[in-house]
Amino acid sequence: MPIHPILRYPHPVLKKVCRRVEIIDTTIQNLVADLLDTMQAGPGSVGVAAPQIGVTLRACVVDVSANRQGKENNHGRLCMINPEIIAREGAAIMREGCMSVPDYTGDVERSTKITVRFSEPDGALREIAASGFEAVAIQHEMDHLDGILFLDRIVSIKTGLFRRKSYA
């Protein structure tokens, strides 16, 4: 499947609330495959959401297993269609970055544990409990589906936004 260019802020699609996927068919399965290929091609990427490639549907992928912060605690490759957080717990501030905002990182407060329900590309309903870095990555990608960027969640615009020194 093709690797897509990532839309960059302030592209208007990044601020749109995405539509629910009504039918999981080959078009949606191909979208998920494109998201996976695009994520794997991105430098240090642990997730991509459909609006980042210009598609306003509720689909995203996350895989933190190759990242040092997620190696020990992950569910592998997650392909999530219509994801919903059904429970959350705790809070912590972590530094986040985004391929759609490549020049900056920022301190964002997120839940430390979440339970998320979603459909997989084969239509199966799945529910997982995620914690730590994986929970943060899932919340970050799900925010994209609601037109929210990490910039919108920075704890302090004065002290919590940083110019990125390198991208890897």
For residue 151, what are its two tokens? Answer: 């910039």
* Helix/strand/coil for 161: strand
141 has catalytic annotation: yes
CA atoms within 13 A on the CB side of 13: 15
Mapped to the 3 state alphabet, what secondary structure does 21-42 carry?
Answer: CCCCCHHHHHHHHHHHHHHHHC
From 22, 96, 109, 141, active-site residue: 141
**Is the Cβ–Cβ distance between 104 and 161 less than 8 Å?**
yes
- Cα end-to-end distance, the chain, whole Å: 23
- Let me know: does 106 contact 149? Beta carbons within 8 Å: no
Q: Which residues are catalytic?
A: 141
